[in-house]
Structure 1
Amino acid sequence: MQRIFALVLLAALSLIGLTGCGNKGPLFLPPEPVEEVPAEVETPADSEPS
C-alpha cells in the first residue's frame, strides 16, 4: 500500500513538473523595452519675449 502511494505521488509530481506554467516551446528572455524619446517642441523664433 505504501509503495502504491509513493508511485502515485511520484507520478503526480512528475506531471505537475512537466506542465510547468503552461508555456509551450523553449524558454526565452523578453525583449528589452524600447525607450521612446519625445520630440522636442520648438517655440517659434518670431515671438518676442515680454
Structure 2
Amino acid sequence: VRIWWKPFILCIWGGALMMAAGGFVSLSDRRLRVGAPRRKAKPARLAMEAAE
C-alpha cells in the first residue's frame, strides 16, 4: 500500500469549504438575496410619533 501526500489537495478542499461558507453567509442575510422583497418604509408622521 502506497500513501501519496499531495499538499495542494488541501488547498482545493479548503477553497471548497470557504465557498460553501460564503454561500451560507449570503443566504443568511435576507437583504442580500436577489429576489427578496423590500420592506416598505413607514410614513414620516408615524415614525415621528413612534419616536416620542
TM-score range, shorter chain: 0.3 to 0.5
Q: Report the TM-score, using the length of structure 1 for normalisation.
A: 0.40
Q: Report the TM-score, using the length of structure 2 for normalisation.
A: 0.39
Greater share of helix residues, 1 or 2? 2
Of structures 1 and 2, the one scoring higher in RCO (CA 8 A, sep 6+) is: 2
Structure 1 or 2, whichever has the larger Rg, is: 1
